[in-house]
């Protein structure tokens, strides 16, 4: 809704303002009155969206890889692929552009591009003698766009990559958005043989019904629980419960956002299977990740720790 004459004095501007308010109303639900900051936000969104279209054409997008460390094997067990945008004006944060890509459905072609790039890289690791898994973030919009299982199959076939080398990270919002056919799509992906991970667990509704009824193999505990795990007894209790529940259901547990040794020690003691975080490696360009794999293949961050444990 936009009001005459307070918001605008001409029909054209009045309608334009109402459209900005409509856009906001769609993001939540219900209705919205126009406020002047909406125009500025729409203009920013528009600039980012136009920039993203160019980015896809002009090769400004790049996939970085962050190591996933197996606690028991003490090796690089896989890597999560995260998108980076090197715009002419500099790096643009995922926090800024991923939501715009999702809202504009550009995430569908971008997501397909990430899948192909990630599978291509996983094939290179295999050729180098490291048959490890690559994890790719999938947004709920990708389940609305093209038939996602078809896109996934195409990426695997193009790179001649075995399905068990690919993990798809999905957040709870997918399950809450109530997209028709999402359960069937997840089951189809499971049948293809890719691994399904529930990302950012514990931050949304965390309906346990999903864990029971859907074919997830991995649960990623959100950074929010890891941050203070060294000092906050409540976080220890929560993570203990999450790990117990996940293992009881046959899921592997990944702890996200591990930044220091103390957090790593606690998470390892609590039975987390895989560690991910700056402490073991930041997301890095593909060539750096390949170099790290070839140089060690194992995880230095856990090596040091094991010596300590032995003392």
Cα distance between the two ends of the chain: 68
**Selected range binding Mg ion among 83-91, 96-104, 252-260, 280-288, rule: CB under 5 A:** 252-260
Nearest to 55 by CA among 11, 6, 139, 114: 114
The CA distance from 311 to 306, in Å, is 9
Among 7, 169, 172, 188, binds Mg ion (CB under 5 A): 169
Task: List binders of Mg ion among 110-139 (CB under 5 A).
Answer: 137
The binding track of 40-79 with respect to ligand C2E, each residue x by CB under 6 A or -, is --------------------------x-------------
CB of 218 to ligand C2E, least distance (A): 12
Nearer to ligand C2E, 8 or 224 (CB): 224
Neighbour count for residue 247 (Cβ, 10 Å): 14
**Selected range binding ligand C2E among 121-129, 208-216, 245-253, 257-265, rule: CB under 6 A:** 257-265
Neighbour count for residue 167 (Cβ, 10 Å): 24
On the 0-12 / 13-18 / 19+ scale of CB atoms within 10 A, 180 is exposed
Q: Does 172 bind Mg ion (CB under 5 A)?
A: no
Among 52, 82, 134, 185, binds ligand C2E (CB under 6 A): 82
Among 139, 151, 195, 292, binds ligand C2E (CB under 6 A): 139
The CA distance from 171 to 95, in Å, is 15
The binding track of 177-206 with respect to Mg ion, each residue x by CB under 5 A or -, is ----------------------xx------
């Amino acid at each position: 809704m936009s009001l005459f004459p307070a918001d605008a004095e001409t029909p054209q501007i009045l309608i334009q303002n109402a459209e900005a308010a409509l856009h906001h109303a769609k993001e939540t639900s219900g209705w919205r009155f126009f406020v002047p900051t909406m125009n500025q936000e729409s203009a920013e969104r528009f600039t980012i969206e136009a920039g993203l279209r160019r980015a896809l054409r002009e090769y400004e997008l790049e996939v970085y890889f962050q190591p996933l460390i197996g606690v028991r094997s003490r090796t690089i067990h896989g890597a999560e692929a995260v998108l980076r945008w090197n715009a002419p004006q500099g790096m643009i944060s995922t926090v800024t552009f991923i939501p715009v890509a999702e809202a504009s459905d550009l995430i569908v072609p971008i997501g397909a591009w990430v899948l192909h790039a990630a599978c291509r890289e996983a094939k290179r690791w295999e050729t180098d003698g490291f048959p490890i898994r690559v994890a790719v973030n999938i947004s709920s919009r990708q389940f609305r766009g093209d038939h996602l299982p078809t896109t996934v199959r195409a990426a695997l076939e193009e790179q001649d990559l075995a399905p068990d080398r690919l993990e798809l990270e999905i957040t709870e919002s997918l399950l809450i958005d109530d997209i028709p056919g999402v359960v069937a799509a997840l089951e189809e992906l499971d049948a293809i043989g890719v691994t399904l991970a529930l990302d950012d667990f514990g931050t949304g509704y965390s309906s346990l019904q999903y864990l029971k009824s859907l074919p997830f193999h991995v649960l990623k505990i959100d950074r929010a629980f890891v941050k203070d795990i060294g000092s906050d007894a409540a976080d220890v209790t929560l993570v203990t419960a999450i790990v117990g529940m996940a293992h009881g259901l046959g899921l592997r547990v990944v702890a996200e956002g591990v930044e220091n040794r103390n957090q790593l020690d606690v998470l390892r003691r609590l039975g987390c299977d895989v560690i991910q975080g700056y402490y073991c490696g930041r997301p890095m360009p593909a060539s750096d990740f390949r170099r790290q794999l070839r140089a060690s293949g194992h995880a230095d961050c856990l090596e040091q720790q094991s010596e300590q444990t032995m003392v």
